[in-house]
């Protein structure tokens, strides 16, 4: 897998690798050369996609190689919907507090401290055997409270959205949080963590968007569906199929309107236009799954589209 990641990184200015599991503590170091040697400009980010699954381990396992792999960010994501978590039997208990405690403890650990913490999780005399480092914290968010909390406490946010309607609304929530942001926290960076599917053929790009859009719809909060005029019963059909484990059925239930709302999909020109619209509300875009039907060309095409959008 890391060879494919490294190959993709050669055409990217910055690379974010999400939810990478390492059973062996030596494994990250083993792949370090592959990630760094093929493109010195690649910045790798191991994002804890779901802190609910971590229990008493709020810090991602490969944190010890951040400086070696040009690590720049740590992301902590929170989703408003819960079909996937419900299937796993995971209780979404106090998500706002859990995320805040997680990255505050992580910041203390990265600074070289020894941490004892009792809250939504327990840490006792925890420390890291690495050189102290300042690593920006980006909180993945979609709901109003998480967005406001990220603006107040974190270095940035990854807004789980791509449509201008959602991004404009999110910007309003962030603005409220920034009013309470301490001056010592410095500048805040708002990024759209967008589902993107780009290809030379529009139909192929949209078809590749079906799987991630299904999962987005399955976890979307009612206000988000209403914002885009998506029929509640249609969304429930997707969610029920996912919960039943019938992925193909779930993907078949995805409508064209759902793709328009939850994925930037199409040719390079279409995607560039959508990027431009998104950038009216955010500081930047993280290009997320599925990228496109052909991963190798999708990275290049997405980069071209983003370049066009940035020039506007």
pLDDT at site 98? 86
Mean predicted confidence (pLDDT) in 255-279 = 97
Q: What CATH number did the domain enclosing 45 receive?
A: 3.20.20.30
Residue 103 corresponds to which tokens in the numbers above?
């990255």
| Per-residue model confidence (pLDDT) at position 278 | 97
Residue 33 included in any domain: yes
List, for residues 145-184, the tens digit of each pLDDT value.
Answer: 999 999 999 999 999 999 999 999 999 999 999 999 999 9
Query: Does residue 96 carry a pLDDT above 70?
Result: yes
More confident residue, 41 or 58: 58
Whether 269 shows a pLDDT value over 60: the answer reads yes
Ranges assigned E (strand) in the chain: 17-18, 46-47, 74-77, 115-118, 122-126, 137-141, 156-159, 189-198, 264-266, 284-291
User: Of the candidates 280, 43, 281, 239, which has an alpha carbon nearest to the alpha carbon of residue 147?
Assistant: 281
Residues 82 and 220 sit within 8 Å (Cβ to Cβ)? no
**pLDDT for residue 236:** 96
Domain that holds residue 27: 1-135
pLDDT value, residue 7? 57
* More confident: 1 or 38: 1
Phi, psi of 25 (to 5 degrees): -60, -15
In this predicted structure, the answer to whether residue 129 has a pLDDT above a threshold of 70 is: yes
Give 6's pLDDT tier (boundaries 50, 70, 90). low
* pLDDT (0 to 100) of residue 260: 98
Does 302 reside within a domain? Answer: no
Q: What is the pTM of this model?
A: 0.77
The total number of structural domains in the chain stands at: 1
Q: Please list, in sequence order, all residues whose beta carbon lies within 8 angstroms of the beta carbon of residue 28, skipping any fewer than 6 positions away.
A: 22, 61, 62, 64, 65, 69
Q: Establish if 253 belongs to a structural domain.
A: no
In a domain, 71, yes or no: yes
Average pLDDT over residues 18-31: 39
Mean pLDDT, rounded, of the chain:
78
Residue 194's pLDDT band (cuts 50, 70, 90): very high
pLDDT band at 81 (very low <50, low <70, confident <90, very high): very low
Q: What is the pLDDT of residue 256?
A: 97
Domain annotation covers residue 205: no
pLDDT on residue 267: 98
């Amino acid at each position: 897998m890391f060879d494919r990641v490294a190959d993709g990184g050669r055409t990217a200015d910055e690379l974010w690798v999400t939810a990478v599991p390492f059973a062996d503590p030596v494994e990250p170091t083993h792949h370090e050369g592959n990630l760094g040697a093929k493109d010195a400009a690649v910045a790798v980010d191991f994002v804890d996609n779901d802190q609910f699954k971590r229990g008493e381990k709020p810090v991602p396992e490969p944190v010890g190689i951040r400086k070696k792999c040009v690590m720049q960010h740590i992301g902590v994501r929170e989703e408003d919907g819960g079909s996937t978590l419900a299937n796993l039997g995971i209780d979404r208990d106090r998500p706002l507090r859990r995320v805040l405690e997680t990255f505050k403890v992580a910041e203390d650990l990265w600074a070289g401290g020894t941490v004892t913490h009792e809250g939504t999780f327990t840490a006792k005399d925890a420390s890291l055997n690495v050189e102290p480092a300042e690593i920006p914290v980006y909180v993945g968010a979609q709901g109003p409270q998480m967005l406001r909390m990220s603006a107040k406490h974190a270095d940035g946010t990854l807004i789980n959205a791509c449509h201008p309607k959602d991004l404009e609304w999110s910007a309003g929530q962030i603005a409220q949080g920034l009013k309470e942001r301490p001056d010592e926290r410095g500048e805040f960076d708002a990024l759209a963590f967008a589902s993107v599917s780009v290809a030379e053929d529009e139909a192929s790009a949209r078809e590749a968007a079906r799987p991630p859009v299904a999962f987005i719809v399955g976890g979307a909060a009612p206000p988000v569906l209403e914002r885009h005029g998506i029929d509640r019963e249609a969304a429930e059909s997707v969610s029920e199929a996912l919960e039943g484990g019938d992925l193909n059925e779930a993907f078949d239930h995805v409508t064209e309107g759902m793709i328009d709302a939850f994925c930037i999909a199409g040719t390079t020109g279409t995607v560039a236009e959508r990027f431009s619209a998104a950038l009216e509300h955010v500081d930047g875009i993280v290009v997320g799954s599925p990228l496109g039907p052909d991963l190798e060309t999708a990275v290049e095409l997405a980069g071209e589209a983003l370049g066009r959008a940035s020039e506007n």
